[in-house]
Amino acid sequence: SRLHSYRWCKRVYEYKYLYGEPDQSEFGRAILGKAIHVFAERYHNHLKESNQNLDYYEADIIANEIEKTLLLPSMRREFREVIERMKEGLIGFTDIPYSESEYEVKLAVDSSLNPVDFDDDNAVFRGAADILSVSEVDGEIHIVVEDWKTGYVMGKERNEEQLKIYSALAYIKVSSTTDKKISDNMKAFVNHVNLMTFSREEYRFTAQEAMQALTNAIEEAEKIKRETDFKSTPQKACQSCAYSAFCEDYNTDIKHGGMVHNNIRRMNELKSELEFIRRELREYITENGPLNINGAKYGIIDRVSYSYVSDMPAKVSNSTGMPVQELKSLYLKASKASETEMRKACKRSGIDYETIKKYSAVESVSKEMGYLDEK
């Protein structure tokens, strides 16, 4: 991930990994992706421990717990739909018994390509394989790495590089624990799991190719560590970058939008974020009831409003005998006003508001979030 960020844009790498600025552009999908990974890990471990191929009951229990602890209300529908497909698809994705595989295996090596703990200060490259399967066939050890992709489908070239690196890290780790021959022919899988895509890609390569990919990645990583110039080259894609709001290179570049474009974009982002919060609150309140905040209760209320028909003066005059000119004057002043303002206008003109409402107001009810007055 770090290498890809650097290749994509040096400035993004600097903001994300050197300054620690969070990338909020995929916030919702990141949470959903984590939830799917957690489900896969827990369900996988349950099947392995219980020596079962399927267990719908336990899968539902795991999914319910994850929904309550990890997911926002708006994410639950997609999560459920994906999980329904994964309950069977998880075991169907691999032809290696669960007893021979582990989930979320952390791998790391030092500069001499010796295996080290993931958090070891001497580690020069790290990776976490979603599934690592190690099996023995005819006295030969076979290593298979699998990776779950819950986001949008990336290029196969990037996936293959990642799988080669993880396979090399796994090869080094397994080599340190066995004297048996490890197969030179390796295979790995990418499992795409989201509403748009539910598929599996298989990759085959040799152990030498995997080790070469790891060596190249380590050399590139060491070069990046010595980098001091993280200036980017503004381009059209900068407009959708999560860091463009404070990217000096982009905001001083007139050709690709710069500060003016970005300020408008940021305002739209804030508006979208506020709407997102409103939707989440609405779903939460609808599901769980009103919120009590410092003694004030907030919930979903029926908001009644009235619109006044354009022929109101004539209708009311014909029905009540009120002077049509006074009614026309009132209509011009307050036809687009709120109910409160309409009441005040009627009072000033000596006209009965209830009569106006009876003959010319159209009532509409909308459900909105608001303060609930218990009195």
pLDDT at 327: 80
pLDDT at 210: 97
- Angstrom CA distances, 109 to 120, 138, 162, 186, stand at 9, 29, 15, 19
Cα–Cα distance for residue pair 70/88, rounded to 1 Å: 22
Cα–Cα distance for residue pair 146/44, rounded to 1 Å: 13
- The closest of 32, 166, 25 to 86, measured between CA atoms, is 32
Query: How many CA atoms are closer than 13 Å to the CA of 371, on its beta-carbon side?
Result: 6
pLDDT at 92: 59
DSSP 17: I
Q: Is the dihedral of CA 116, 119, 120, 124 positive or negative?
A: positive
pLDDT at 353: 84
pLDDT at 112: 94
Burial (0-12, 13-18, 19+ Cβ within 10 Å), 170: buried
pLDDT at 342: 77
Q: Which residues of the chain carry a pLDDT beneath 70?
A: 23-28, 89-99, 152-154, 253-265, 333-338, 374-375
pTM for this entry: 0.65
Place of tokens 């026309």: 328
Amino acid type, 308: Y
- The closest of 129, 105, 130 to 117, measured between CA atoms, is 105
Give me the residues paired with residue 199 across strands: 192
- Angstrom CA distances, 25 to 30, 31, 136, 277, 304, stand at 9, 12, 43, 15, 37
- The closest of 94, 98, 59 to 79, measured between CA atoms, is 59
Cα–Cα distance for residue pair 257/237, rounded to 1 Å: 11
